[in-house]
Structure 1
Amino acid sequence: MESQQSTQITHWLRESVSVKLVFIGMLTLVLLIPSAMIGNLIHERAARRDEVISNISYNFAGKQLIKGPVLVIPYKDQIEVADVNGKPALKQVERKLFLLPDQLSIKAELKTDVIHKGMFSAVVYKTQVRMSGNFAKTDLNALGIDAKQLLTDKAFVTFSVSDLKGLKTNPSLTLGSQTFAAAPSAGNVSAFTNGLQAAATNAGEIVGNSLSFTCSLELNGTDGLSFLQLGKTTDVELSGNWGTPNFDGRFLPDARQVKDKAFNARWHVLYYNSPFPQQWTDSASVLNNVSKQQNATFGVNLRMPVDDYQETTRANKYAVLIIVLTFVSLFLTELIGKRKIHSFNYVLIGAAMIIFYTLLLSLSEQMGFNWAYIVAALAIVGLITAFVSSLLKNKLKSFSFAGILSVFYGFIYVIIQLEDFALLAGSIALFVIVAVLMYFSRKINWDGGHYDKKPGVV
């Protein structure tokens, strides 16, 4: 009697649809482990790509941020100190007056190129940046300074680029009617890190009048070009021969035009949102505050047309959906065909679906994401179809299953490409899938594991 019960239990475990479903659910959860490992692998490869781009930037020139110009005028001041006898005495000291432009106009045209290193690429550019504008007549009374205190013979204009290695010519600056050569700033006298400065011995003109300036920089850079909002009015016109620009920073362009292989953008920024004062004294570190710089920086990133690692990551996030849908489809095919598929075969098919993502990652590094997805999907669908065909011994049902798999992989590809409408498309598709599963599941005998002759009988 006990032997008969044991035999019945064993037979039930083998034939029960419910037990098979529990196994499929557990297998799906187990397959999430290698899926997560592949996600880590994608991040590692992306980090390697970023490392190579950083290496190219180090050899060529990094992403450039242009800051300035700022007019700096030293002046004499007196402070009260104690003499050797402890009595009050006046001591003469030298302070600095910092003035930002009243109007700042910048024009630049980027000539881009792509540098390849191994399987990775970086976008580099050459440009000539033309800056012009003026410093308004200074309000010395507001600062408590007399014009006689100014040491105009020591005045200078300072500006900065992020990577001085990118400069291809010696920059010069025209202030008023005079032109001065620029050189790297010495010590901490500059208002910027990596600062350049040019003498401004005619700065005394600013006491009674505005003072115009022009400056031209021949510059190399990688990945992007940005500007620091310093003018009371800042106007930037930027163009380039790159079809996929990404405008970022604190301000978006007021006007932009992006074509297949070129872009043009214009910014008009007022000082109301500026985190910097238009004039101040003493502190040379005001403009080096990182958080304030972030709130006053804008420009363009020259991103590659397709980020293969980002799209591969998105595809990997849908791995659990592909696994569940494939297993459910195979399970229904098994019931319809009245041909039992062993649990171990489910494990092999699950392994094949995981291999799809390693194929996708490795191929996308060589041929791009789109072709890699097509090749990897065809390879995996072909492999699983051939395997299922040998199990079911039914070509019609095998080809039907291949069609279902192709729809699944095509559906995931479409979702990845849609981006903005991915949630909507995915939700509608899942609704349809659940409806189809409900329709077929209503005729399944969950105890016996076969279709009944009368629909709806369980």
Structure 2
Amino acid sequence: MGKEKEMQMKALWWKLVILGGVTLMLLFVLLRIGWLVDERQNRQRAAEAGVAAAQAGPQVLLGPMVQRSCTEEWESVSGTGKDLTKTPERRDFVLSAVPTELKVDGALNQEQRERGLFKVNGYAGEVTLQAQWASLGALTPVAEHKGEVSCEDPRVMFAVSDARGLRAVNVKRGAQALQVRPGTRHDSYAHGFHASLPDQAVDQPLTLSFAINLVGMTDFGIVPAASVTQVKLRSNWPHPSFGGRFLPMSKTISERGFEAQWQVTELATTAPRDLLAGFSLPGVERDPDAGRAYAPNPVPGREQASGIVADTLAFSMIDPVNPYVMSDRAIKYGLMFIVLTFVSVGLLELLSRRRVHPVQYLLVGLAMTLFFLLLLSLSEHLSFALSYALAAGAAIGLLTFYGAAMLGTALRGLGFGALVAVLYGALFILLNLEKASLVVGASLLFAVLAAVMTLTRRIDWYALNGRTAERPEEEPIGSW
């Protein structure tokens, strides 16, 4: 009899070793599915890059700024008497002035684009700007060499990240419509437009209004390049991620979209100085969970200043239920849920006194693992919630059916299926409560441990080794 107990004990230890190997095998399967998620994410980014290359990418608006190109001509004298020579000299320079006050109002609604299976969030709408210069005294030229100075008419320039996104532009000085020309005529900003300001006196204030019909992709930003900048943006996208260096002063977010307002003064930003220094156009800092931010467009054939304009007011159209991000989060919990499932099977095996073969553990684990592959594949075609319900329903149905045969009765199979359903429900809550995922996960593990301890509190673990507890027979501690 003792030999039989010893053989049973060896079989139990071998079973535990085999289950450890099965768990490692399933971990490798999870890693392979995780690599597949990464590959699909890379293809999503490639689709975004393809859409950006074919139409227009993320947009950052910079300006307006009034400029004036001037030339100073003089003669430099050298030598004396017969050796006296006069050499004509010339100096070209550009004077610039940023607005005293800039008001921006924009409505940018979602305009989704597709490339194959992949969907890319874009936007389209109109951005209006009201810019005021209290004085254009900064455009008054100074002769450094006491020569003759001549200047062109002042002009206003406006820079964008991707000029292909400019569908229409209207610029007015009061009631007068100005002729808009492509390019900024600025060495640091090749993408944008400019308009001449004929008969503009530099000792008079200036007010300009802009109406820009714009399209872009995912990310949008504005550089607060004025003494006082006020921005109001609206969109029907209900999941904005606000970025840049300044968060909105106020915002309203609902299922119908969002509205946000910013106000920034030159006391808080270096953007006006950066613009006057010709610093490069910045990119938009995107939510780190959604991928890298897009770099500013290079200016071919031009040498830019070494710096980049530091400050933007920005938002990104981030999808909170991106199927690849959500699938990646789910897989991170995969091993924990497989182990919890094995614990549930082992507990039912122990309580029902019905032996479960390691191959059956393997099949149960594979069913749990393939749930993540089903979730990934379905979420590329359906909403994430529906994909999760279908994948979880398939896994629960299969495990309930198999559990009835594995554990001997339909009632035990239903109980096993109910345990699996609770696990999938908890996983869905973890995925949707990202900020509270740690506390929910810790609470779940504590609840599982409490349930295991409660159900096994009367088991004599020494009896599994062919021994008995050394204490005399008495009512177990904590018995109810």
Partners of 1:321 and 1:246 in 2: CA distance? 31
Give yes or no for contact 1:257–1:265 (8 Å, CA) kept in 2: yes
Question: 1:27 — aligned with what?
Answer: 22
Matched with 1:418 is 433
Measure, in 2, the Cα distance between the counterparts of 1:83 and 1:22: 97
Shift of 1:324: 0.7
- Deviation of residue 395 (structure 1)? 2.1
Trace 1:253-264 onto structure 2 (pairs within 5 A): 253-264=248-259
Query: How many equivalent residue pairs?
Result: 445
Does the C-alpha gap of structure 1 residues 333 and 267 become closer, same or farther in structure 2, counting only changes over 3 Å?
same
RMSD of Structure 2 on Structure 1 (CA): 3.6
Q: Structure 2: which 5+ residue stretches go unaligned?
A: 283-295, 297-305
Report which structure shows greater RCO (CA 8 Å, sep ≥6): 1
Q: How does 1:425-444 map to 2 (within 5 A)?
A: 425-442=440-457, 443-444=459-460
Deviation digits for residues 99-154 of structure 1 (CA, Å, limit 9, x no counterpart): 21111111112243333444332333331221111223255599966899764425
**Pairing 1:161–2:160 present:** yes
Cα distance change on mapping 1:430 and 1:98 into 2, 3 Å: same
Go from structure 1 to structure 2 and tell me whether the alpha carbon gap of 1:142 and 1:93 turns closer, same or farther (over 3 Å shift).
closer
Mean CA deviation greater in 285-294 or 174-183: 285-294
Q: Please report how far the alpha carbon of residue 305 of structure 1 lies from its aligned counterpart in structure 2 after TM superposition.
A: 5.7
Letter in 2 for 1:162: S
Asked if the contact 2:397–2:417 (Cα under 8 Å) also holds between the matched residues in 1, the reply is yes
Return closer, same or farther for 1:225/1:277 CA change in 2, 3 Å cut-off.
closer
Q: Secondary structure at the match of 1:137?
A: coil
Provide the residue aligned with 1:252 in structure 2: 247
**1:97-246 correspondence runs (5 A):** 97-138=95-136, 140=138, 151-169=150-168, 171-175=169-173, 179-185=177-183, 189-203=186-200, 205-206=201-202, 208-246=203-241
Corresponding residue number in structure 2 for 1:328? 343
Q: Describe the SS at the equivalent of 1:197.
A: strand
Q: Following TM superposition, by how much is the alpha carbon of 1:231 offset from its aligned partner in structure 2, in angstroms?
A: 0.9
Structure 1 residues 83 and 446, CA gap change in structure 2 (3 angstroms): farther
| Structure-1 separation of matches of 2:274 and 2:135 | 11
Displacement of 1:449 in angstroms is: 6.8
CA distance in 2, matches of 1:129, 1:148: 43
Instruction: Indicate the residue corresponding to 2:299 in structure 1.
Output: none
Tell me, in whole angstroms, the C-alpha distance in 2 between the residues paired with 1:286 and 1:347. 60
Q: 1:456: how far off?
A: 5.6
1:65 aligns with 2:60: yes
Q: Are 1:380 and 2:395 matched, yes or no?
A: yes
Tell me how far apart the structure 1 counterparts of residues 465 and 357 of structure 2 sit (CA, whole Å): 14
C-alpha distance in 1 between matches for 2:37 and 2:159: 37
- Please name the residue that 1:389 is paired with: 404
| AA aligned opposite 1:156 | R
Preserved contact between residue 381 and residue 402 of structure 1 (Cα < 8 Å): yes
Q: Amino acid of the residue matched to residue 286 of structure 1?
A: F
Separation in structure 1 between the aligned mates of residue 199 and residue 133 of structure 2, nearest angstrom: 13
Structure 2 residue matching 1:366: 3-state secondary structure: coil
CA-CA distance at 1:210 after TM superposition: 2.4
User: Which structure shows the higher helix fraction?
Assistant: 1
State the Cα distance separating 1:315 from its structure 2 match: 0.9
CA distance in structure 1 between the aligned counterparts of 2:213 and 2:467, rounded to whole angstroms? 77
TM, length-normalised to structure 1:
0.85
**Stretch moving more, 119-128 or 355-364:** 119-128
Partner letter of residue 395 of structure 2? I
**Distance (whole Å) between structure 1 residues aligned to residue 76 and residue 135 of structure 2:** 33
Q: 1:80 to 1:245 in 2, by over 3 A?
A: farther
> Which residue number in structure 1 is paired with residue 279 of structure 2?
286
Deviations 1:410-452 (A, max 9, x none): 1111111112211111112211212222334452536737998
Offset of residue 292 of structure 1: 6.1
How much identity, in percent, do the aligned residues show? 27
Q: Secondary structure at the match of 1:242?
A: coil
Preserved contact between residue 349 and residue 384 of structure 1 (Cα < 8 Å): yes
Q: Which of 292, 303, 307 matches 2:322? A: 307
Q: Take 2:439 and 2:220, find their aligned partners in 1: how far apart are those partners?
A: 36
**C-alpha displacement of 1:402:** 1.2
Shift of residue 364 of structure 1?
1.1
Partner secondary structure for residue 448 of structure 1: helix
Segment drifting more, 26-35 vs 354-363: 26-35
Partner of 1:91: 89
Aligned partners of 1:82, 1:148: CA distance in 2, in Å? 13
| Mean CA deviation greater in 149-158 or 321-330 | 149-158
* 2:90 equivalent to 1:75: no
Could you tell me whether the CA contact under 8 Å between 1:152 and 1:202 is conserved in 2? Answer: no
TM-score under structure 2 normalisation?
0.81
TM-aligned CA deviation for residue 330 of structure 1: 0.4
SS class of match (1:157): strand
| More off after superposition, 88-97 vs 427-436 | 88-97
CA distance change for structure 1 residues 141 and 378 in 2, over 3 Å: closer, same or farther? closer
Give ranges in structure 1 of 5+ residues lacking alignment. Answer: none
Equivalent pair of 2:70/2:152 in contact (CA under 8 Å): no
Q: Secondary structure, in 3 states, of the residue corresponding to 1:23?
A: helix
Q: Which amino acid aligns with 2:119?
A: S
Provide the secondary structure at the position in 1 that maps to 2:388.
helix
